[in-house]
Chains A and B, each alone.
Chain A
Amino acid sequence: MERFRSFLASDFFYAFKRAPVAIVSFCIAAFMILTAILAPLIAPTNPFDPSTLNLMNGFTAPFSKNDFTGDHFLLGTDDQGRDVFSTILYGLRISLFVGFSAVLFAMVLGVSLGLLAAMTGGRTDAIIMRIADVQLSFPAILIAMLVFGIAKGITPPELRNEVAVWVLIISIGLADWVQFARVVRGAAMVERQKEYVEAAMLIGRGRVAIALKHILPNILASVLVIATISLALAIITEATLSFLGVGAPPTQPSLGTLIRIGQGFLFSGEWWILLFPALTLLMLALSVNLLGDWLRNTLNPKMEK
């Protein structure tokens, strides 16, 4: 309680209260996360339960009745009669799950390697950062595609759909850890020069304790900023991979898969199948990006990049 009260009195919360953009994007992001979690409760239909689908309901326009069945769908239906609103809710769920898990994976990997590099220096540092440099030269998409390609090769075909989401998470996480590692290493190198670290060495703290108890808490702000921006990036990367056909399978469509499906109908007039998933993706990525942008400016004005 005392912590909560001191948070409410902090400069950070004060700045938040005075930034309408931050408040709005925080609310939108929080709302979308909540609906994704509650998707099975909110969604009018379960679009992946074949027994509830009626092909006659296909291509229902949004905000209007279906000509044959008279059923009503808020955002229309796709070619198979699936409710677009429901598919979006479930797609959001997949997108967010992949996004959060990938960022978590990248964060754990990147923060550990970044701290390790900063604390040991010398050869270990050189090797880690060389790998990071090389990987940075390859865009996330390319790395994710390679990981995906390898995974596709080594998993038996019957399991492919089931592991697809995990493969996505690992491939995006492997592509994103470099950002964490670089920022953490940079920040940790700065902290390491500070005298409180020397003081900790003097009282006999070991290197691991210094890294975890002294340095890590002081660079958490930077990690938080990177994590937020990475989340937006991971969601977009996932969508891109799914769009390219190497991501979430049609049985577990993410927003990217939905857009890929919708693209085929855009030019034949069924615009809603593409538009609504695309808008959802935009809103999600934009609100997270705006939040990340604001965090970066507030927590660490010098870290813009």
Chain B
Amino acid sequence: MSLLEIRNLKITYPDRHGEFTAVRDLSLSLERGEVLGIVGESGAGKSTVGNAIMGLLQSPGRISAGEIEFDGISLDTLGEEAMRQLRGKRVAMIFQDPMTSLNPLLTIEDQLVETIELHLKMDASSARKRAVELLDQVGIADADMRITQYPHEFSGGMRQRVVIALALCAEPDLVIADEPTTALDVSIQAQILELLKRLCRDRDMGMILVTHDMGVISETADRVAVMCRGELVELGSTQQITQNPKEEYTKILIAAVPPSNKRIERFVRVEQDAKIKLESKHSNDVLTDYWDSLSGSGSENGASREERSDQPILKVQGLNKIFRSRSGFLAAKGADTHAVKDVSFEVMAGETFGIVGESGSGKSTISRLITGIHPLTSGTIEYDGIDISRKSSDRDEMRRRRQIQMIFQDPFSSLNPRMRVGDIICEPMLVNNLVESRAEAMNIAEALIGMVELDADATRRFPHAFSGGQRQRISIARALASKPRFLICDEPTSALDVSIQAQILNLLKDLQSKLGLTLLFISHDLPVIRQMCDRIAVMRLGEIVELAPAENIFTTAQHTYTQDLIAAMPRFEQA
């Protein structure tokens, strides 16, 4: 008998329009000692499955058909009290964000001991001994001392280890890990996955690993279930799913994953039917006219249409940024943060320059310094021959600065929810007097919307009518409306599903070659960076540790930090 059997599971949420089916007709099984990966894009219902097994479906969701059988016990008909006694003792769960999973006002000891006492019926002193052992097992050094500390005294990776210790303290038979490493940096992610895998083997425990990340799955899982819109699409061994997928959806999904081992020119088109027509002839003309007026105005900047050149368009020298902290009453003054330390680099016209680094490396701060959103502490930034690190009153100079535009990380906050898409795209043209009239601006806006492959009637709607990927396209259209020559992409796809990511990356590549843009591409995702960039700067704690052509970074990295990063990157290779 399997450890876990799910048969024909259906989960529904009643809503305004009747009923929403989150999971439909799902059947799965799991053996002891096995890691089953559930993979899918957002809205696939993968987390809902995990919550249903735990009996923790968010209200008003409910299991409306099918059954879940755990070790011979039928979970779907089990009462709340009996279910509670199983939770933590025989089935456990690990959440996504270690920063919020622990109670900030209780020490690690308080939280571990209360859980151990509850499940293992131990007295306080032996429970504490057991807690220290557990922390030791999940790789927390000096456990006897650290157990008395509060969660905020631990780093993200360490907190996730504590969370794992808490989940595993009663030696459960089944663990559900819901995106356990998504909130962590690459190097920490590898360690946590290794730990989970080891614990599973050692304790003969079954694990369901819910994730959106194919790389994580291929590194960790024994078998994989691919889900899409609440349904199970394909189930098979990890080897079979990643190398030889049978279903169309799985093939698409796999093709969209940026391979870690090589650079490909374009992602295979992910749309099943390529029904989206590229821009009409008319809109093409409108845009060509619009764009040509740019090279006309800046006579000597004729380089805009050129392919890659050896002329640097952006020169950054000795850049420093220190965020000063404020002090408050009874709270000691926090330390100043030196976010960017003495950074220098040059970006050539027409190339794609990548900045890669983990959280806190200062990579996003650099984009804010170049765009002037944050003032810099010291250093110079030269764009197209003019110093843009200081404020200027010269109109022409200000206009040239507008040639630097940006695409943001979060498509849900980068568009003003109270403005129609057309107005959002028109705003830069009108504010900077790039057009004669509102009607002309609207005309160009529609052409731009076509260029980013959306329907023209999108201009009349509000942002909330669009999905994340569509919003990112709108965001690109807005950036293009300023006639930029230099586009900063700050993690432009990290909030998107992998198939959408592939589309956006393709679009960026197309636009670059069509418009002769220079791209500064910032990301934490090494495979993505590899697909996009010509040269890469690796950052750590505010400093550039290595700067080299892209392929060299991945094949012959010089700095040990770069080597470690590459080694920790989840492998997802394409033949």
Contact = CB atoms under 8 A, between A and B. Distances in A.
Given A202-B405, A203-B428, A195 B373 contact: no
Interface in A143-175: none
Interface stretch (B71-79, B410-418, B565-573): B410-418
A14 B427 contact: no
A130 interface: no
A203 B415 contact: no
A84 B427 CA distance: 58
Interface in B89-132: none
A218 B464 CA distance: 13
A139 interface: no
A214 interface: yes
Nearest to A209: B431
A194 interface: yes
Nearest to B16: A14
B496 to A, nearest CB: 15
Interface in B451-508: 475, 478-479, 482
Nearest to A11: B16
Contacts of B371: 198, 201-202
B353 interface: no
Nearest to A201: B373
Contacts of A50: none
B322 interface: no
B431 A205 contact: yes
Contacts of B479: 199
B408 interface: yes
Interface in B375-401: 398
A195 B414 contact: yes
Given A14-B16, A203-B482, A198 B406 contact: yes
A201 B408 CA distance: 13
Contacts of B373: 198, 201-202
Contact of B406 (A199, A204, A217, A218): A199
B418 A199 contact: no
B398 A218 contact: no
B409 interface: yes
B389 to A, nearest CB: 16
B149 interface: no
Contact of B427 (A194, A203, A218): A203
A6 to B, nearest CB: 10
B177 to A, nearest CB: 29
Contacts of B398: 204
A217 B418 contact: yes
A12 interface: no
Which of A14, A194, A203, A218 is packed against the most chain B CB atoms within 10 Å?
A203
B431 A203 contact: yes
B49 to A, nearest CB: 27
Which of B16, B373, B413, B478 is packed against the most chain A CB atoms within 10 Å?
B413
B432 interface: yes
Contact of A199 (B16, B368, B408): B408
A202 B406 contact: yes
Nearest to A219: B418
B414 A199 contact: yes
Contacts of B416: 196, 200, 214, 217-218
B146 interface: no
A47 B408 CA distance: 65
* Overall SS of chain A's interface: helix
B402 interface: yes
Given A195-B413, A196-B414, A204 B478 contact: no
Contact of B409 (A195, A203, A204): A195
A202 B479 CA distance: 9
A202 B428 CA distance: 9
A218 B415 CA distance: 11
A198 B482 CA distance: 14
Contact of B414 (A11, A194, A203, A217): A194
A201 B370 CA distance: 13
Nearest to A206: B431
A199 B402 contact: no
A202 B410 CA distance: 16
Contacts of A218: 416-418
B554 to A, nearest CB: 30
Interface in A185-220: 194-196, 198-205, 209, 214, 217-218
B463 to A, nearest CB: 9
Contacts of B368: 198
Contacts of B408: 195, 198-199
A202 B415 CA distance: 13
A15 to B, nearest CB: 9
Nearest to B398: A204
A199 B424 CA distance: 10
Which of A14, A194, A195, A218 is packed against the most chain B CB atoms within 10 Å?
A195
A195 B482 contact: no
Interface string A204-240: 1100010000100110000000000000000000000
Nearest to B411: A195
A200 B415 CA distance: 10
Contact of A204 (B413, B415, B417, B432): B432
Nearest to B401: A204
A22 to B, nearest CB: 17
B371 to A, nearest CB: 6
Contacts of B417: 218
Interface string B9-41: 000000010000000000000000000000000
Interface string B406-445: 1011100111111100000001100110000000000000
Which of A196, A198, A205, A214 is packed against the most chain B CB atoms within 10 Å?
A196
Which of B372, B402, B405, B406 is packed against the most chain A CB atoms within 10 Å?
B406
Nearest to A218: B418
Nearest to B409: A195
B415 A196 contact: yes
A204 B317 CA distance: 25
B490 to A, nearest CB: 9
Contacts of A198: 368, 371, 373, 406, 408, 414
B15 to A, nearest CB: 11
A193 B540 CA distance: 24
B397 to A, nearest CB: 12
A199 B371 CA distance: 10
B413 A196 contact: yes
B402 A204 contact: yes
A43 B427 CA distance: 53
Interface string A12-32: 001000000000000000000
Contacts of A204: 398, 402, 428, 431-432
Interface in B344-370: 368
A218 B417 CA distance: 7
Given A194-B413, A195-B409, A200 B418 contact: no
Contacts of A200: 416, 427
A195 B427 contact: no
17 contacts: A194-B413, A196-B414, A196-B415, A196-B416, A198-B368, A198-B371, A198-B408, A200-B427, A203-B402, A203-B427, A203-B478, A204-B398, A205-B431, A209-B431, A217-B419, A218-B416, A218-B418
Given A196-B415, A198-B368, A202-B371, 6 more contacts: A195-B413, A198-B371, A199-B475, A204-B402, A209-B431, A217-B418
> 10 tightest A-B contacts by CB?
A195-B414, A203-B428, A195-B408, A217-B418, A194-B413, A196-B416, A195-B413, A198-B373, A196-B414, A214-B416
